[in-house]
Homo-oligomer: A and B are copies of this chain.
Amino acid sequence: MEPVSVQRKGKKREKYTCSHEPLEFPSCRVCGKKSTGIHFGVYSCEACKTFFRRSFLRSTPYKCDKGGDCLINAEKQNGSRPCPACRLVKCLDLGMSKDGVKQGRYTMTQRTSVILEVQKLRDQTSNRLATDPENTHPGIQGDRQIKDGCELDCNIFHQDSQDDGTLSETSGGSYTIHSSSSSSNSPHIQDKEIVELAQEVGRTSIILGEESTKESGVPCLDKSEDILQRIMTGYGYLEHFTKSMTDEEIQDILDKEWMKHTDKTKLFGKLEYLPTDQYNDIYEKTQLDVDGRKKLLSEAKYEFMKMANDYVKFCKNIPFFSGLSSHFEFFTILQHKGMNTEKEMCISYTGKVLPLSETCPYTSKETLLGWAEFSEEVSKLQLSPEEFALMLGICVTFRDRCPLDYPEDVENIQKRLLETLEFTLSKSHYENKGRRLAKLLDLFVRLRVIGDEYLELYKVICQDPIMRENLPEFLIYL
């Protein structure tokens, strides 16, 4: 309580830092210095920001007397002022623009549209040269196009070869702005590479551990009762949010969140994911998470890990089963309960409610809706826990989905599980037990179809740099 008499040097008061790390911004796209965020649509430093802002106040245009191709790079200029004419051109070429900038935080849609506009602007700049007659930035010479023939020629040269963004390689050897998905940021991923990554991630515990860790070493499980018990033990490890909820409760939640969501949509507009190509292109150039998928994936990490770990726990309890296989069928059945195709909402494994369309940036709405409809049909069957558990077991024991050395073994396990399912049904209250079994088996047929579709998609998704970067764990099932 006594005041410390130690002299304290006048330390600047701590800046109020947000709890999370200061979030280092990418460097200024104009000059390369530390940027302070997005200004006028482009990551830029305080200096370039102010420079650009000021450029609008000018009455006289800037003029470069060195041919107009000055290098703008703070480091290489050590201290001296960069050529303002070329600096401004670079700003504009990068898409800096005063239109559409908004005070404060952007909403998703605002942000997206701003970026897209910037994007367009940029493409324009590329061939603005002799075309756009009313590009009248006060700081740019009106006759830029006309006079600086050579300077611009070079530019045109570069730009010509790129046109509307998507062109391939350039003849002249000059740099071009590629807008294709094969971004320089993350060139095409070699499959081998992915596998390695997947293995590495997998080693961290998601993949089945050593065989020895399996529950109880006694493999004498001839009886369906025993098998069922083991399966139910595994089922006990699953913790899908809807597990102990009634349909009413589930629909209630979905309803409520749906209302919230529609309100939000009214205010901020609907979140629509861009095509992945386009996203990656923008991301490469601006480091902007325009449609928020990066955030989605990051946030989904825990979700996914939890689900994947529970998956492993479940599998460990399948008699004779020793390897993981595909996951889509399992996850689909596992999560079949939290769906509402009418309102297009769903509940995630850990209980997050979100619109179907926001669950996956890689999938078309139709596909997602197809999956959801399937789930809804499953839920209409009102699976008992035993049915649920056995079906999950069957999901992971399709021989062709198993990368194991002994597919026959897997097939055998599945056979046993199917028997157990039949056995279970025989003890059930259903009037027509055969019909019930048929219904359940029919699900697998259809599940296999959409599973095949998914598998194709999965491979594509695993190529995506954003996914690799933000949710590498997802690749483990490759």
Is A357 positioned at the interface, with any CB of B under 8 Å from its CB? yes
Which B residues lie within 8 Å of A79 (CB)? 101-103
How far is A11 from B3 in the complex, measured between Cα atoms in Å?
Answer: 44
How far is A259 from B8 in the complex, measured between Cα atoms in Å?
Answer: 22
**Does A10 lie within 8 Å of B104, measured CB to CB?**
no
Contact with B along A1-19 (1 / 0, CB 8 A): 0011001111111100000
Q: How far is the CB of A418 from chain B (nearest CB, A)?
A: 40
Residue in contact with A10 in the complex, picked from B3, B7, B99, B274, CB distance below 8 Å: B274
**Does A10 lie within 8 Å of B270, measured CB to CB?**
no
Residue total for A at the interface (Cβ-Cβ under 8 A)? 37
Assembly stoichiometry (copies): 2
Using known A-B contacts A57-B9, A103-B81, determine if residue A3 contacts B291 with beta carbons closer than 8 Å.
no
Is A106 positioned at the interface, with any CB of B under 8 Å from its CB? no
Which B residues lie within 8 Å of A269 (CB)? 8, 11
Is A365 positioned at the interface, with any CB of B under 8 Å from its CB? yes
Q: Nearest residue in B to A10 (C-beta to C-beta)?
A: B290
**Does A270 lie within 8 Å of B8, measured CB to CB?**
yes
Q: Which parts of A1-39 form the interface with B (CB within 8 Å)?
A: 3-4, 7-14
Residue in contact with A3 in the complex, picked from B8, B267, B290, B365, CB distance below 8 Å: B365
How far is A104 from B290 in the complex, measured between Cα atoms in Å?
Answer: 32
Is A268 positioned at the interface, with any CB of B under 8 Å from its CB? yes
Residue in contact with A272 in the complex, picked from B7, B104, B138, B267, CB distance below 8 Å: B7
Which B residues lie within 8 Å of A14 (CB)? 267-268
Is A175 positioned at the interface, with any CB of B under 8 Å from its CB? no
Is A417 positioned at the interface, with any CB of B under 8 Å from its CB? no
How far is A138 from B291 in the complex, measured between Cα atoms in Å?
Answer: 46
Residue in contact with A104 in the complex, picked from B47, B271, B282, CB distance below 8 Å: B47
Is A395 positioned at the interface, with any CB of B under 8 Å from its CB? no
Is A302 positioned at the interface, with any CB of B under 8 Å from its CB? no
Q: How far is the CB of A48 from chain B (nearest CB, A)?
A: 12
Would you give 11 A-B contacts (Cβ < 8 Å), ordered by A? A3-B270, A3-B344, A3-B357, A4-B270, A4-B272, A7-B56, A7-B274, A8-B270, A8-B271, A9-B290, A81-B103
Residues of chain A touching chain B, judged by Cβ–Cβ distance below 8 Å, are 3-4, 7-14, 47, 56-57, 79, 81, 99, 101-104, 108, 138, 267-272, 274, 282, 288, 290-292, 344, 357, 365
The 10 closest A-B pairs by CB, nearest first: A10-B290, A8-B272, A10-B291, A10-B57, A14-B268, A8-B269, A81-B103, A13-B268, A79-B102, A4-B270
